[in-house]
Structure 1
Amino acid sequence: MDETTKYGSSSLFRDTTKLTPDEAQDLVRRLELRAKADDEVTARAEYLSLLEIGSGQRVLDIGCGSGVIARDVARRVQPNGRVVGIDSSPALIAAARELTTATDGATSITFREGDCRALPLADDSFDVVIAATVLTHVPDGHRAILEMARVVRPGGRVGVFDFDGDGLLVAHPDRDMTRRIVAAFSDHSAVNGWLVRELPGLFKGAGLKDIRVRGFMPLEQHEGSFYARMGERAAAVALEVGAITPEQHEKWMEALRDRVHSGEFLGGRLHLFCWGRKP
C-alpha cells in the first residue's frame, strides 16, 4: 500500500477542488488566522528572505490558497516584479483575488488555477518558486518539486516550507493519549506527514544544488488560536479513524478546553524550510 492510499484518509486538503462553499470559507478563515500570528509572521519573513526575493523578480507561489504568501512577496518585488499564485481550487483562487488589495500590489499578482504536479507554465520562467504548507497534502508531492525545478530559471531558487506531521505540540496533562492523537493526526490528516524529512533528497533528485534546511516552531498561547483549533481537529481525526474511543475523546477535549479557558494553553508545530538553487 503506497502513501497515497495508506495515509491522508481524513485530509481536508487532499483534493481542494471538491471543497464545498462552507468548507472553502472555513479554510480561508483558518489560513488568514494563522497568517496573522506573530510567530508565523516572523517565520514567513525569514524564509522569504532566505530566498533572496527582491525588486523586479518573477516569483511563483505553488498552492497559494488565500494568497498570504503571494501578497507578502508582491510587496518585495515591487515596483516591476510579478507574482503568480497557482492553486487547484477555484474557490480558493476566488478568495485570493478578493482578499488582495491595491496596497498588496494587486496589479503585480496573477492568480490562476492549476495542478502543481503539471504546471501550465514554461521552463525557466521564474526567479523564485515557493510552496508553503501544501505539498504534504498532495498525492505524489515529489512530482511538484520536479515541476518547481523545471519552471525556475538557471540560478533561480526553489523553497518548500511545510510541517512535520509528528511535530504537533499541544500542552495537555494526558501524555499517552496526546501521543496517540498526534500520531493518528499525523498519519491521517496529511497524505505524507513526513514529506519534510525527505526534502533534501527530493531536491537533490530534482537537480537542485546548494540545498539547505532550517527549522521553525511557530507557537501560540491564546484562546481561539489556530493551534487551539488544530488540537480539536487532531482529536476529531483520532476519533474518526478509531485511534481513540468517544469516551477518551470527550475526556481529552475537556482537559484541553480547561487549559485554553484558563489561559494555560500552548500549541505549535514543527516546520522545516528547505531551499536550493537550480544550476
Structure 2
Amino acid sequence: MSILDVYGRTHELDAQFIDAIATRLEARSGNAKYIAMLHEYLALLDLAKAKDVLVLGCGTGVEVRQLLGRSEFRGKVTATDISADLLQRGRQLAAHEDFANRIDWQVQDAQNVTLPDGGFDVVIAHTLVSHVPRPVEVVREAARLVRGSGTVAVFDGDYATMTFGADREMDEKIISAVIANPRVMRAMPQLFRHVGLELIDSRGWLMTEIGRADFFVAALNSFSILVPKTGVATAEDMQDFVARQMKASEDGTFFAGYNFYAMIGKGANAS
C-alpha cells in the first residue's frame, strides 16, 4: 500500500529530505511542553521493573534518550526505525549523551518486526502510527512483542485537528502531505481491543500556540521542503505560506494547534 506521507517513506528519501525530517524531529526535544507530555505518559509505565524496552519507529531517538535519562529506568532499549539514515543520526546523538551501550539500533518495519514474541517488558510507538500504511499492524506487533505482564504505549497526534489560522485549504494540504492517518488515535481503543490489549490508561493534551510560534517553527520550516515533495502544493506556495506564518509570529498574531493523545495497554495474559 503506497502512501503520500513523507514520514512514512523515510527509507526512500534522499539526504535533503532526511535532513529536514531529522531537524524537525530533534527540534521537538527543545520544547518544554512537548517533553512534558512525553514524560507524563512515560511516568505511567512501570519503568523501574523494565529490563527491556522496545521503541518502534524511533526516528532520531528523542524519546529513546528521554527514556534513558529517567532515573527509575536502568534497563536497555531496542530502538527500531525503517530508515537506516535516521537510525545513524540517532546513534550519533545518543553517543553524545553516553547512552550508546544501552541501545541496540535496528532497521525494522514496525508493521512486520523480525523479533521474537514476548521479548520486551514495554513497547512504545511514539508518533509512529499516524505515518504508517497499516497502523493496526503496528499495534498487533506491539501486542505480540510485549511480555504478558508488560505494557504497550502509543503516543501520537490527532492531526485532523491541526490548523494554522483560518486557511483550511492549506491545512488539508499539509495534513495530506505529512500525515497518513490523521484520525488514528480516535480508533486506538478499538485497535487495542482488536489485537488483545486492554486499555488501562490514557492522556490527552492540546498543543497550541497563540500570538508567537515556538514548537511550530521547526514544523513550518520543514513544510517548505517536505510538502512540495508530495505534489499537493508548489514550492512557491509553501514558501509564501511559511513566510506569512513567520510574519504572524513576529507580529504576535500567530495561531496554530492540534491535539495529542497517549494510550496505555496491557496484554491479555497480564496478571
TM bucket, shorter chain: 0.7 to 0.9
Change in 2 beyond 3 A, CA 1:19/1:221? farther
Change in 2 beyond 3 A, CA 1:179/1:236? farther
The letter of the residue matching 1:135 is V
185, 197, 201: which one pairs with 2:190?
A: 201
Map 1:35-54; keep pairs closer than 5 Å. Answer: 35-54=29-48
111-120 or 187-196, larger mean C-alpha shift:
187-196
Mapped contact 1:55–1:76 kept (Cα < 8 A): no
The letter of the residue matching 2:123 is V
Corresponding residue for residue 122 of structure 1: 116
Tell me the distance in 2 between the aligned counterparts of 1:130 and 1:165: 19
Q: Quote how far apart the aligned CAs of 1:108 are.
A: 1.0
Map 1:255-274; keep pairs closer than 5 Å. Answer: 255-274=244-263
Mapped contact 1:74–1:104 kept (Cα < 8 A): no
Map 1:19-34; keep pairs closer than 5 Å. Answer: 19-34=13-28
Q: Quote how far apart the aligned CAs of 1:109 are.
A: 1.1
RMSD of aligned alpha carbons: 2.9
Mapped contact 2:152–2:265 kept (Cα < 8 A): yes
Q: Quote how far apart the aligned CAs of 1:235 are.
A: 11
58, 70, 84: which one pairs with 1:64?
A: 58
Mapped contact 1:56–1:77 kept (Cα < 8 A): no
- In the superposition, the TM-score normalised over structure 2's length comes to 0.86
Q: Quote how far apart the aligned CAs of 1:224 are.
A: 7.2
Change in 2 beyond 3 A, CA 1:257/1:79? closer
The letter of the residue matching 1:32 is E
Mapped contact 1:33–1:225 kept (Cα < 8 A): no
Mapped contact 2:18–2:86 kept (Cα < 8 A): yes
Change in 2 beyond 3 A, CA 1:179/1:102? closer
Q: Quote how far apart the aligned CAs of 1:118 are.
A: 1.2
The runs of 5 or more residues in structure 2 that have no matched partner are none
- In the superposition, the TM-score normalised over structure 1's length comes to 0.83
Tell me the distance in 1 between the aligned counterparts of 2:17 and 2:213: 18
The letter of the residue matching 2:47 is I
Tell me the distance in 2 between the aligned counterparts of 1:236 and 1:122: 35
160, 163, 175: which one pairs with 2:157?
A: 163
Corresponding residue for residue 182 of structure 1: 171
Change in 2 beyond 3 A, CA 1:79/1:271? closer
Per-residue CA deviations over 1:243-267 (Å, capped at 9, x if unaligned) read x9x78x7875564232122243343
Corresponding residue for residue 232 of structure 2: 241
Q: Quote how far apart the aligned CAs of 1:164 are.
A: 1.2
Change in 2 beyond 3 A, CA 1:251/1:67? closer
The runs of 5 or more residues in structure 1 that have no matched partner are none
Mapped contact 1:71–1:104 kept (Cα < 8 A): no
Corresponding residue for residue 17 of structure 1: 11
SS at match of 2:8: coil
SS at match of 1:107: helix
103-112 or 73-82, larger mean C-alpha shift:
73-82
Tell me the distance in 2 between the aligned counterparts of 1:251 and 1:30: 19
Q: Identity over aligned residues, as a percent?
A: 28
Tell me the distance in 2 between the aligned counterparts of 1:155 and 1:167: 34
Mapped contact 1:39–1:219 kept (Cα < 8 A): no
Map 1:203-222; keep pairs closer than 5 Å. Answer: 203-220=192-209
The letter of the residue matching 2:259 is L
Corresponding residue for residue 136 of structure 1: 130
Tell me the distance in 1 between the aligned counterparts of 2:12 and 2:123: 26
Q: How many corresponding residue pairs?
A: 265
